[in-house]
Structure 1
Amino acid sequence: MNTWIKNATMVNHRNEIEAIELLIKEGKIDAIGADLSLIGEQVEKIIDAKGALITPGLVDVHVHLREPGFTYKETIKTGSEAAARGGFTTICAMPNTNPVPDTVEKFAEIQAKIQEDAVVNVLHYAPITTGLKSDELVDQVGLLKAGAFAFTNDGVGVQTAGTMYLAMVEAAKNNTVIVAHTEDDSLLFGGVMHQGAMSEKLNLPGILSITEASQIARDVLLSEATGAHYHVCHVSTKESVRVIRDAKKAGIHVTAEVTPHHLLLSEEDIPSDTAIYKMNPPLRGIDDRDALIEGLLDGTIDFIATDHAPHGDEEKSGGMVNAPFGIVGSETAFQLLYTHFVKTEKFTLIQLIEWMSTKPAETFKLNAGHLEVGAPADLALFDLTDEQIIDAQEFKSLASNTPFIGWKVSGTTLMTLVNGEVVYS
């Protein structure tokens, strides 16, 4: 089907808004111009954007879809629908499912479910080790052939340096990426939130900043020794930013992501002992949050990823000690960041689009993140003027565990297209 999107706007590399129209043909962008009304093509569908901003579809390399094993929290279908509502057209799902997809056979079952149910492009990680918590490496070659996106034990840190070293040796051979949730279990001490003023005030066990930064320090040296591409999940501390910055200066192939919630919140925003603010890594100090913003602006941190982590209402209804870690983020990320950083002129609009689309795609060599002729017609349309209150009743996700319910935001997703087909409107 040929589709003509007219009366749209885009942001150019001078951060200026300009009029734009697109012709989509056979799932790809066929033409871009200020006025395509005379192109002479047989157009079967016309979408009037009415001045909305058009962007390349957003790319999120860190989501939890919970299927198989935890489908009361989320499914591949509902998680991909939530992503589409947020303007995401490509998402990358973590392997902390039950069973863990640590064999070709298990991985193939998830791939089949993705083909059946996903409404956006879903790429799936394989684990670094069998069952996530062992020291037995998976068959990287076999899993890559089965379609694995990259390798991670997200949810737990790889505790043994030798195991991480051998995984990186294999990854360098196989030209794939090791993606790390960095957390030294020996430094956890039962913590449920950041070790700081608020944990003392609430009399809750804290998580030390060094729990994260110490593993990153170990791993960047292993990356240097092996030549592997090492990517750090959800950076949260100023010490971690410093280690990554120094590693990049040394020429080590390390990249990193930060979440919207770590950019927007700190421990001081936690009002009480409530599990809705429990996430891993936890909300840190204001100086940590400021270091994350600075790291994003100076290129130490490469892009933004949501760490969309749905849980059941009952699980997140009490205090922190017994609740699971995590908040949802797919449906609120762009709106929150546009409202609190672009509208306040801390970030430019082009920076936000690059951090949420272009740069994650380039980092992982995905055919996504670009608004150009020949690119897949994976697109999002946003109304930057529309103000809404974040309302859990409108979520496509099965879960609503986020502290951002009730926040007023601008930048509503009007439409999301994947391969030229409307998947959310």
Structure 2
Amino acid sequence: MPDDATPDPYADPIAFGQRVQILRTRRGMTRDQLGGLMGHSGSWVKGIETGRLKMPRLQVVLRLAEVLRVRNLADLTGDQSVHVDLFVGPGHPRLPAVRAAVDAFPLPTRDEPAPAAAHLAARLAHAWAARHTSPHHRDVVGALLPGLIQDAQTAVRQADTAAERRTAQAALSEVYSLSQFFLAYQPDGALLWRVAERGMVAAQESEDPHTIGVAAWLTAQAHRDSGPGHFDAADQVTTEALRYLTPLLPDADHEVLAIAGALTHEAGYTAARRGETGTAWRHWDQARTMAHCLPETYFHPVTSFSRAIMGAHAVTIAVELHAGGESVRQAAASDATTIPSRPRRARHRIEEARGYQLDGQPDVALATLAQAHEAAPETIKYNGYAKRIVLEETEAKSPDRRRRASALAVKLGLLAV
């Protein structure tokens, strides 16, 4: 090749350590922070990044992928033959139709009358109920969303009075909230953020406290899941939303009480991600007190906040704090069968499995993931934590464990049949 030719960017592939450094920097993490989350020191991370230490075994690589929120394992390893999506799914078949509905730019028209507010509310209630009861909730919700998005937008455009417009904006924000559940772990992060931002704007226009709280709850989650560099933004959203809602609580209905409780737990969740044990459990305890102000059978249709969910939340806090023994204790104290939502019950099983894995009980972790798959296959299929555990155990020393992990990997679409 001539000396002045454009160099081949793939001739000298990026080393594993360099990839770790790039991904760590992108997440806004220091070496000490990453090392702490990995159970090592900052100097260990430096050794990996500089090449002084060789590429670790699969178990450690998968743990790095989890901590760095790597979406495709090949992005971390550099081996394009290892194409495994971890924190994002392969893309649901209904994603293109939902994307098209979100991206559409409908102009004001009176050609088609807007649906009545009561009709939209009934359809949304049906959609939430379907999400909680169907094992294939993404497929069901994905089929409903395009029509809901179009009709809710039409209702806003054709509202004749300020009151009608606020009601329509509340419905539109709720549709966007439902859309965020469908878009989570799908391969279109920009679309998820577009929906989150539109949902927050519509909520603010609605001037409805419950709607504003739900939009804030989802926005805080989006920030937190974007990595440590966004934790401050997540805290700011929850803090501002709670500051707005708190004066209303003495006279609030169950929905507003529940969303305030859900936001309080979110603050604890983010604190747990930071490793702030005392703050995390303090927020959880406050949220539990708020849950006990609700009727025993109450279950919030969006956040799942309820008395029944607090045990599941305790497991998540312990897992995020990387406390294996405490995770197992909280799992034993919780009762997944009291959670009426299939996807939320499956998510709880996945969190329990993470706890068992942390506690050195991989066989129980696999059995718990099998329960998650039974509750809602479409939840575990798109969950990166579940995928990491399954992939790690496909290389276990125990032949029986390898067999069970491989069978579950096939069900999740991680391995060819």
> Does TM, scored on the shorter chain, surpass 0.5?
no
Whose Rg is larger? 2
TM-score under structure 2 normalisation?
A: 0.32
Higher helix share: 2
TM-score under structure 1 normalisation?
A: 0.31
Higher strand share: 1
